[in-house]
């Protein structure tokens, strides 16, 4: 009888800690989704405005200056590590690490399997030695407006503006609907 009770007690203790762990994870997912809104919600309208007012060449300058600034502000406000990455990177910090590479490949595979890009996201608690990190990624689809700077047919002035800042650029040749890259956010957890 005693043993049985003990088993039940242990079982429910494990279940409780799982419940807490799951709650912690979903709270982190919620926070990460808000960061997507903060980052994307600021960058995209500003980019569209820059395109309209100054044209694509000045919008390249805009992206070069503003995208890292917005990322930094979001990081400072939230305490998360904030980045955008791609399998074909442009920005100085856009090269994915091993974990990000796997997730980006997974997103591409899901897209090939017919999953809608805007419904995709991926999160995981990653253990690395004594360090535990909550990591989250959300892919960015390529819209019509993105093709001006990421498509297959860039105008010469846009190509030159990009080459000036990004001599190693790989972020061209995308088609509408392709996954251009992803937001990648992480936070240390205990």
For ligand HEC, the closer of residues 90 and 134 by Cβ is 90
Residues that bind ligand HEC (CB under 6 A): 44, 56, 59-60, 63-64, 67-68, 84, 86, 89-91, 94, 140, 142-143, 145-146, 148-150, 171, 180-181
**Strands 122-128 and 81-85, bridge-based pairing:** unpaired
For ligand HEC, the closer of residues 117 and 134 by Cβ is 117
Minimum CB distance to ligand HEC, residue 95 (Å): 9
Minimum CB distance to ligand HEC, residue 144 (Å): 8
Closest CA to 90 of 147, 180, 170: 170
For ligand HEC, the closer of residues 119 and 190 by Cβ is 119
> Residue 111 is inside which H or E element, if any?
helix 98-112
For ligand HEC, the closer of residues 89 and 123 by Cβ is 89
Neighbours of 151 (CB within 10 A): 18
Quote the CA–CA distance of 38 and 12 in Å, as a whole number: 39
**Strands 179-188 and 131-141, bridge-based pairing:** antiparallel
Minimum CB distance to ligand HEC, residue 91 (Å): 3
In 3-state terms, what secondary structure has residue 101? helix
Structure-token pair, residue 30: 């919620």
Minimum CB distance to ligand HEC, residue 146 (Å): 3
């Amino acid at each position: 009888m005693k043993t049985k009770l003990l088993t039940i007690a242990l079982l429910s203790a494990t279940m409780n800690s799982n419940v807490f762990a799951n709650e912690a994870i979903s709270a982190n997912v919620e926070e990460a989704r808000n960061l997507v809104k903060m980052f994307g919600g600021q960058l995209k309208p500003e980019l569209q405005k820059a395109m309209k007012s100054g044209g694509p060449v000045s919008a390249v300058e805009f992206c070069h200056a503003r995208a890292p600034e917005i990322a930094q502000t979001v990081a400072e406000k939230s305490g998360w590590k904030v980045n955008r990455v791609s399998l074909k990177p442009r920005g100085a910090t856009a090269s994915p690490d091993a974990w990000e590479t796997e997730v980006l490949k997974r997103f591409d595979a899901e897209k090939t399997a017919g999953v809608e890009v805007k419904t995709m996201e991926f999160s995981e608690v990653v253990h690395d030695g004594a360090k535990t990190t909550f990591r989250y990624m959300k892919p960015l689809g390529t819209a019509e407006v993105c093709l001006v700077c990421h498509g297959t047919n860039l105008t010469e002035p846009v190509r030159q503006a990009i080459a000036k800042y990004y001599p190693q650029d790989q972020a061209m040749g995308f088609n509408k609907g392709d996954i251009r890259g992803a937001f990648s956010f992480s936070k240390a957890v205990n």
